[in-house]
Amino acid sequence: MEKLRKKLPRFYLYFLYFIIFSIIGWLIETCFSFYSLGHFTKRGFLFGPLCPIYGWGALILIMFFSTYKKHNLKLFIYSALIFTVFEYFVSYGMEALFSLKWWDYTDEFMNLNGRVSIFYTFAWGIIAILVINFIYPFLKKKVNILLSKIPYKVQIIATNALLVIFITDTVLSCVKYLI
């Protein structure tokens, strides 16, 4: 009889997706910044190559919007609205906490206090469709294949190590911006 493999607990899986999408977000931001400015600039809040707003956004999509996979119009509308509100409050909260702006859409058409704009509202809807229909299913398949080749204890140790690194980076980054 074949021994059943233990599966990584849901929290750990969600954390892995958070890290993956935070890295993807950082790469997108970095490439866009390099393209726009012509040179490398540090993107994001953390020391490491992560933009957590993308990780949180992906988790929100995965956990609450996966049911709209076959309903792209609903997925687009709900995501565009929810993520515009999310982006606004993250911008407001980070500025209130650290007295810094990480993005400013003041020069964009139809912006609200420079925190959100109609262009990015539209972009969040399109990104949600891409993530739910293509990117997440692709990554989920690859993550499952990878995890099936790694012993359970190693998965737990590696994920805990990533969690400690992320928390440490977050604390140190907060201290940096608060002092």
* Location of structure tokens 């607990």: 9
Q: 10 Å Cβ neighbour count for 109?
A: 8
Judge whether 139 and 23 are in contact, CB under 8 Å.
no
What pTM did the predictor assign?
Answer: 0.91
Mean pLDDT over 35-45 rounds to 88
pLDDT for residue 63 is more than 80: yes
- How many Cβ atoms are within 10 Å of 160's Cβ, its own excluded? 12
Residues 132-155 have pLDDT tens digits of: 999 999 999 999 999 999 999 999
User: What's the pLDDT band for 68 if we cut at 50, 70, 90?
Assistant: very high
pLDDT tens column, 77-134: 999 999 999 999 999 999 999 999 989 999 999 999 999 999 999 999 999 999 999 9
What is residue 43's predicted lDDT score, i.e. its pLDDT? 87
Dist. CA 136–CA 13, nearest whole Å: 12
Domain extent listing, the chain: 10-178
pLDDT value of residue 2:
47
